[in-house]
Chain A
């Protein structure tokens, strides 16, 4: 498959940046290109590899972009991954895109953002609402090597990355004048195009902001001031810097979509960003973190015989990672298959994956012990992940952004509870990683929840369905029976959550405004993680490559047990041997050189 890419890697990669869209029109699906990128970046632990951990950590230590690797990705045409196929790029579905990005994120989270995904976060507004000229120009700029970044508006409880914003005034005769300043914007010191959320009306209304495509080549130099690099604890190699605009004239045709459409466009395009941060950066980063811990266990006295506490921790994190990936992939596939339904699920994906994996990172630190502080190429990547991953999730501001979408969803949950109907289950197609690739149509992304008054939650309904069907599997053995029991506990909790939402929203005083709403959102997100885990297990192929791991009950049993404890539910003890057996499967993947996510991809 690799030779279908740009007519042979050896030649195209030495010929400098691709000339144009025609040269980049390559066949090959997401998984094939993911393997290609994996091979391109090579063995991370080969000391002679210019794209290995040694080089990447040294660049991070110097607070520099690993330029050789960035250049390599550029020559591969990473930008084409962010340009829809009908505009000359390679982008079809985001599930495939996340797979292509994982090899990068497994090696360097900051590079994945700085050299990669940020461009899509910016361009997605154009794919969603740009006119034909803007779409064509953006595609050409990206394919020609232009660098795009995004200027967010200021959010509630903003951190450094989301602080500050710009304001535009209309001028007689058309066009705008923009003023403002932000201090911490990725690639602000070297971007060619800024997709900018700019205030165009006063107040807190939903039409206060608009999106402009600011091409620095078209702006007067006197009005644009690039500010120095900001010093960050994490993603030290990424270029976080500031941008100040002073009386900056902006032509009327730079407006993307309608004036006042900015908040709506953010609600639409952030769905893609949240799903890719979860399914690309967080899952990819955690895959590597777990690999460092398995390696450390292997170097200890007892070697890779994972009994006892270490084995339980590693198996537990493996189960969490598979469950988080189940949720992330369901979110990505939902975007590809039915983007108009992705608003709430994509927010829940980000909320849950980010919370779960950060907790797991600490568990792994205890397994790594002193090796976790090593700065050398063998383990130094772990401490880098500890620094980088919190920046990827954006901390509390990132959470609050998802909560603004999730809290209103409690109405739907309350409604479902009152109606007494479980609702329609989300289709099995969401839970079959890698099946039939569909192309994400950005224009179908929706800024409002579908039918909040009569709608239901397909993911929670899927949990109820999976739990009911597991009852019929009890005869297959004690672990199946244990999973059926556990699924029943979760099904009860789904109903309980609905009742609590109904009670909260029925309160005459504050109703859905109460602080309890955030508690319910948190519980909801853990429940849909459990739902995705059960549904992926149910739809997995027992005859698949690694002995049908995903179709077996063990990983779901362990993941749900951990989710249950996080929810404060009374969960039974695991049947004997579950953690030990799952740890053995983890070791198999480690020894076979396969990724720890749902795809079990061959690593270099």
Chain B
């Protein structure tokens, strides 16, 4: 039921299978790729329409780590990204006495998965989403119901003050939260091997191909990998994955931003994109939509229902819903491991 969430994010095309690739490998050194992108000015923050920027992803190695930074980024910038390796969260999967309520509807899928590593990684990624969302909403992680749109994009049923995104590749898993609009994430290993010409042909628009052609070959490879993550992040934010063909839209390599295949600006100020290096060996790209409504900074569940409407709707003597959630921030996720 959740293809986008659980496919191990589509890999760039590799010619002739995985073995015996030699000359076609253009990106093999993670440090080199990240260094190239840094030199080209392609890493780091991009300022959004409201003058906010997508902050660098925050490392959250355990459920009982501090969530303060994420809360601050969400408040200040509207968007935050948490990441960890699944092995860091593995002890939590093993030791929590509440795994079943924490997994909720995903419990059946967890128990039906035979491969122990796949099963644990699945559980770890669910815990990361739930704890990250719980930190944003001021409720317990077991209160979060992850549901899926028809295209597979995850969302939190009944709680639309935040949108969520998930990506994982190799050891890495990352969760994005936005309170201003839709969000999509994609991660790739910086030393991912792929066929440069094949990839350029399959995913680049004419204007992207033209921009790439003036670069050195190692620069092209680094830029292509980044483009791949941007395109994945954007289509995942739309909930469409690869159903929206990657040659139907593009990015400006230099100035950034969404472009038509011909290179014209495709949308207004509503989308922002960023690529960040993580753990010295991964690229994480974020696509953030801003619906432009300038929503409230408070995303907590306890304060979302209007007190006056509720009082008016509730007969005397009955307690209104939402009453004892406590003020925002006081009911953060409980560290239970």
Which of B35-43, B92-100, B113-121, B315-323 faces chain A? Answer: B315-323
Q: A365-B244, A397-B293 are in contact. Are A359 and B149 (CB under 8 A)?
A: yes
Verify B309–A404 contact, CB threshold 8 A. yes
Residues of A within 8 A of B267 (CB): 373, 383
Interface range, A side:
35 or more
CB-contacts of A111-133 with B (<8 A): none
Q: A359-B150, A511-B319 are in contact. Are A408 and B313 (CB under 8 A)?
A: yes
Verify A267–B293 contact, CB threshold 8 A. no
Q: Mark A259-293, 1 if CB is under 8 A from B, else 0.
A: 00001101100000000000000000000000000
Verify A396–B321 contact, CB threshold 8 A. no
* A309 CB–B CB distance under 8 Å: yes
Interface range, B side:
35 or more
Which of A153-161, A187-195, A417-425, A546-554 faces chain B? Answer: A153-161
A522 closest partner in B (C-beta): B158
A contact face: mostly helix, strand, loop, or mixed: helix
Residues of B within 8 A of A134 (CB): none
Q: Give the CA-CA distance A263 to B158 in the complex, in Å.
A: 24
Residues of B within 8 A of A383 (CB): 267
* A48 CB–B CB distance under 8 Å: no
Verify A362–B151 contact, CB threshold 8 A. yes
Q: A267-B313, A390-B291 are in contact. Are A516 and B143 (CB under 8 A)?
A: yes
Residues of B within 8 A of A410 (CB): 321
* B147 CB–A CB distance under 8 Å: yes
Q: How far is the CB of A447 from chain B (nearest CB, A)?
A: 6
Verify B308–A205 contact, CB threshold 8 A. yes
Residues of A within 8 A of B150 (CB): 316, 359, 363, 562, 565-566
* B160 CB–A CB distance under 8 Å: yes
Residues of A within 8 A of B296 (CB): 157-159, 163, 397
Q: A363-B240, A365-B238, A396-B161 are in contact. Are A404 and B143 (CB under 8 A)?
A: no
Could you say which of B143, B240, B305 contacts A156, with CB atoms under 8 Å apart? B305
CB-contacts of B43-66 with A (<8 A): 49
Verify A233–B268 contact, CB threshold 8 A. yes
CB-contacts of B114-152 with A (<8 A): 137, 139, 143-145, 147-151
Q: Give the CA-CA distance A396 to B313 in the complex, in Å.
A: 20
Residues of B within 8 A of A515 (CB): 137, 139, 143-144, 158-159, 301
Could you say which of A208, A369, A399, A562 contacts B244, with CB atoms under 8 Å apart? A369
B245 closest partner in A (C-beta): A369
Q: How far is the CB of A241 from chain B (nearest CB, A)?
A: 15
* A519 CB–B CB distance under 8 Å: yes
* B6 CB–A CB distance under 8 Å: no
* A305 CB–B CB distance under 8 Å: no
Verify A233–B305 contact, CB threshold 8 A. no
Residues of A within 8 A of B161 (CB): 157, 396, 400
Q: A204-B307, A233-B269, A267-B312 are in contact. Are A373 and B249 (CB under 8 A)?
A: yes
Could you say which of A363, A370, A521, A566 contacts B158, with CB atoms under 8 Å apart? A521
Residues of B within 8 A of A155 (CB): 306
Residues of A within 8 A of B264 (CB): 375
* A584 CB–B CB distance under 8 Å: no
Which of B49, B137, B147, B261: most chain A CB closer than 10 A?
B147
Verify A513–B310 contact, CB threshold 8 A. no
Q: Mark A514-530, 1 if CB is under 8 A from B, else 0.
A: 11111111110000000
Verify B320–A408 contact, CB threshold 8 A. yes
Verify A370–B293 contact, CB threshold 8 A. no
Q: Give the CA-CA distance A366 to B4 in the complex, in Å.
A: 15
* A449 CB–B CB distance under 8 Å: yes
* B270 CB–A CB distance under 8 Å: yes
Residues of B within 8 A of A163 (CB): 294, 296
Q: Mark A354-378, 1 if CB is under 8 A from B, else 0.
A: 0100010011011001101111000
Which of A448, A449, A515: most chain B CB closer than 10 A?
A515
B299 closest partner in A (C-beta): A157
> What are 9 A-B contacts defined by CB distance under 8 Å?
A160-B293, A184-B294, A362-B151, A362-B240, A363-B239, A394-B293, A395-B295, A565-B1, A566-B150
User: Across chains A and B, which 8 residue pairs bring their CB atoms closest together, nearest first?
Assistant: A233-B292, A518-B158, A369-B248, A160-B294, A373-B266, A206-B312, A404-B309, A522-B158
Please list the residues of chain B having a beta carbon within 8 angstroms of any beta carbon in chain A.
1, 49, 105, 137, 139, 143-145, 147-151, 157-161, 179, 181, 235, 238-240, 243-245, 248-249, 258, 260-261, 264, 266-270, 290-296, 298-299, 301, 303-315, 318-325
